[in-house]
Chains A and B, each alone.
Chain A
Amino acid sequence: MITEHPHDSHGPDKGLMRWVVTTNHKDIGTLYLWFSFLMFLTGGVMALIIRSELFQPGLQLVQPESFNQMTTMHGLIMVFGAVMPAFVGLANWLIPMMVGAPDMAMPRMNNFSFWILPFAFGLLLSSLFMEGGAPNFGWTFYAPLSTDFGPPSTTFFIFGVHMMGISSIMGSINIIVTILNLRAPGMTLMKMPLFVWTWLITAYLLIAVMPVLAGVVTMMLMDIHFNTAFFSAGGGGDPVLFQHIFWFFGHPEVYIMILPAFGVVSAIIPTFARKRLFGYESMVYATSSIAFLSFIVWAHHMFTVGIPIAGELYFMYATMLIAVPTGVKVFNWVATMWQGSMTFETPMLFAIAFVVLFTIGGLSGLMLSIVPADFQYHDTYFVVAHFHYVLVPGSVFSVMAAVYYWLPKWTGNMYDEALGKTHFWLSFIGINITFFPQHFSGLAGMPRRIPDYALQFADFNMISSCGAFLFGFSQLLFLFIIIKTIRGGEKATEQVWEGAHGLEWTLPSPAPYHTFATPPSDLNDAHG
């Protein structure tokens, strides 16, 4: 029903239908975050199946066909189902509160963006039970493996990707419009918290590249069902064309998964160092530079495919350039901590671990950018180690840091600090045991995406599998801590953290259902 008074405060609907019909940014943020956690566990179970099979050489647990389905689904679910929705959930919860807006710019479309996802992933997961099995060609679905040799369920995988794309594009339009149009008076762009800045740029990247992904899966669909020749050399096309278009999407995609993490860390470190963020403006420019560079480096994923030498050189140097703005960021985080009066609550622990471990992942990326070196590293476990270092202790740790940091604002209760720290240390140790040895097995030549391997890699794989189980089961503790905090605990104050700045910390804890129906006049030193 439409009321005549746009500003009358309507509370949540009753019962479970609340979550289906809600237009509230906080409800939708919660939905995104829980969905993401469910997918994180689903993809995690697949990772543990993979690690179980790789615990020892030889085939003991799954057949190679199912193994390939597991690696494919694990990648797709973690990228599109866990990491991306987690950041969109954070954006939903936080951006309106951080910029002093009453809600997202288009609240009904916001609900639409979310509710497409369960259908998309239902479709994707149902392919596991279809004839011929689930997609088995890796999350990068290279043609012609996916077009000429893929299972029939590839068609549904393609439509699943289309649905995720529609969801992402609508969600990003909502975020961009909220940031550009709904900021409180006086909140100029350069006063926005860095999390808002990073999401503005991320949303731009999403709107720019998700349509390209839609384009490339559409070409696949046509090649499969209508005998088009996009990726068939016999018709004048080229399988390498697939890789170019895919990675034109894929490289910005990896920044889509890390830029909001930069924003989270840039919020947390100043709070617990009790200092302003060092070099706010340079952070903004560095983020923009990374986003720009992300469009012009894609072929560094394809050094071994046979591109001309001029292309190899160009993409090598352009890729190395990314280390400059990234270095600026790492420098600024460290400089923020320099001489700060630091305390080490759980969010800060995750944030510091992020800075250290993401940097390791970044540096191994720099190694991979060197063309002749990449000829050796390509498609080995070194690559697996590299991108898991940036995605797990990078993106995933930042999401965990964000959850601990803002959970008191969301629930009104403090989490159990001892349990939080336990969760951190278990995760930190688990993650390093899992992925650090993979650098060595990769450098020694162990290829990725195989269910069996030579005996020489046995020790590193066994260690890696042990770490994976430690990390995986630690996340049940995370789940327990979250549920415990929702159900009760020490009451949180408005500011929650002594050193926290920004509009969301001026609101009561838990934040009321509707906030900033009229914009705030005091911006509370928005970016800390």
Chain B
Amino acid sequence: MTDSAYEPYYVPHSSKLPIFASIGIFLTVFGIGHILNDLSAGVDSAFGMVTLILGGLVMGLTLFFWFSKVIEENYKQLYSNQMNRSYVWGMSWFIFSEVMFFAAFFGALFYVRVFVVDWIGGVGDRGPSGMLWPNYEPHWPLLNTPDPERFPGASGVIPAMGLPLVNTLLLVTSSFTVSFAHHAIKEGNRKRIIQWLTVTVTLGLIFLFVQGYEYVHAYNDLGLTLGSGIYGTTFFMLTGFHGAHVTLGTFMLLIMLFRALKGHFTDDNCFGFEAAAWYWHFVDVVWIALFIFVYVLGG
């Protein structure tokens, strides 16, 4: 950017979108909170669900109009290169925040595996803790918990070299196909963009289906559940949050597919797509970490 050729930075007018987004978030979490408290207290009430649905609607519509507005402003050429860099930075830092969210759960897994499982068994200089549960054997994966009455344990874990390996191949392949779609945008080949995006979205959906199948198997056949002890806890929370992110990423790419069908994206104006693709790569990297630490080394 040179001083003489300064492009104005677009500062939008006042907007009603953010306040609706705030209301949407509030109703959503208020609804979920009521549902959870009612569930735990054994109360039957529709209030939570109604609030949640209302909040979800407000949030969904607001986001739809918000993104529409940004796309519209972009196509009116209100955005300078500097503005586009703001979006690039913004998405990058958002992904960094997501990395840190997963870091908390990976940290919990490592801490439990490396320290807690042994310490509960009285290993090291913490002898007395071994007297609390004399039948407890330190072992990972932890299938026999110290207190089986509250945390019943599981009869087995998901082996890495079965469905998880399939899922790894699916996600890694999808990272390539989304890149092919990006190349197609750079070449201006619309047919290819649509083809590769369709393939990517399909791979994401198959991944989610396989993951769901694996969960059903774990719950029904292995007794491996959220409440079965720390192995089930870390397993389902890590893979579950990853699955939620795959769902979001698939949804983002699906929107990009619709946009591509509408004729959006040129080689120098495709940040919406790039942001979704970055998110997809991030989800892929998290999966590889999961595959190594939860399935291969943890199973």
Contact = CB atoms under 8 A, between A and B. Distances in A.
B78 A2 contact: yes
A380 B35 CA distance: 39
A517 B15 CA distance: 19
A184 to B, nearest CB: 9
A221 interface: yes
Contacts of A235: 145-147, 150-151, 229-230, 233
B151 A227 contact: yes
A177 B101 CA distance: 20
A484 interface: no
Nearest to B143: A236
Interface stretch (B87-95, B205-213, B280-288): B87-95
A109 B18 contact: yes
Contacts of B108: 215, 219, 230, 241, 245
Nearest to A122: B26
Contacts of B96: 207-208
B22 A123 contact: no
Contact of A159 (B15, B23, B32): B32
Contacts of A176: 89, 93
A207 B111 contact: no
Contacts of B103: 211-212, 215
Interface string A491-528: 00000000000000000000000100111010000000
Given A2-B78, A177-B93, A185-B1, A228 B237 contact: yes
Contacts of B66: 108
Contacts of B1: 185
A232 B232 CA distance: 13
B86 A23 contact: no
Contacts of B97: 169, 173, 207-208, 210-211
A69 interface: no
Contacts of A172: 93
B76 A208 contact: no
Given A112-B18, A236-B117, A1 B233 contact: no
A22 B18 CA distance: 9
Contacts of B41: 152
Contacts, number: 248
Contact of B112 (A106, A116, A159, A241): A241
A1 B16 CA distance: 11
Contact of A229 (B23, B90, B93, B229): B229
Interface in B127-158: 132-133, 142, 145-147, 150-151
Main secondary structure, interface of B, reads helix
Given A2-B73, A112-B18, A229-B233, A236 B13 contact: no
Interface string A91-121: 0000000000111011111011001100110
Given A225-B39, A237-B116, A518-B6, A119 B100 contact: no
A211 to B, nearest CB: 4
A150 to B, nearest CB: 12
Interface stretch (A5-13, A188-196, A336-344, A463-471): A5-13
Given A119-B26, A232-B151, A106 B86 contact: yes
B100 A212 contact: yes
Nearest to A179: B89
Q: A interface, by DSSP: helix, strand, loop or mixed?
A: helix
Contacts of B105: 215, 219
B271 to A, nearest CB: 14
Contacts of B236: 228
Contacts of B86: 105-106, 177, 181-182
Contacts of A221: 36
A208 B146 CA distance: 34
Contacts of A109: 18
Nearest to B6: A518
Given A119-B25, A181-B82, A241-B108, A6 B230 contact: no
B226 interface: yes
B40 interface: yes
A245 B123 CA distance: 23
B110 to A, nearest CB: 10
Contacts of A227: 150-151, 226-227
Given A159-B33, A237-B230, A6 B151 contact: no
Given A6-B10, A173-B94, A225-B40, A156 B116 contact: no
Contacts of B8: 6-7, 102, 517-518
B151 A234 contact: yes
B230 A181 contact: no
A106 B82 CA distance: 12
Q: Most chain-A Cβ atoms within 10 A of its Cβ — which of B10, B98, B117, B236?
A: B10
B12 A23 contact: yes
B78 A236 contact: no
A7 B151 CA distance: 62
Interface string A159-186: 1001100100100111011001110010
A106 B13 contact: no
Contact of B100 (A106, A152, A185, A208): A208
B202 to A, nearest CB: 30
Q: Which 7 A-B pairs have the closest CB atoms?
A: A215-B104, A234-B147, A236-B230, A227-B227, A235-B151, A112-B18, A211-B101
6 contacts: A4-B76, A21-B15, A152-B41, A182-B82, A207-B96, A227-B151
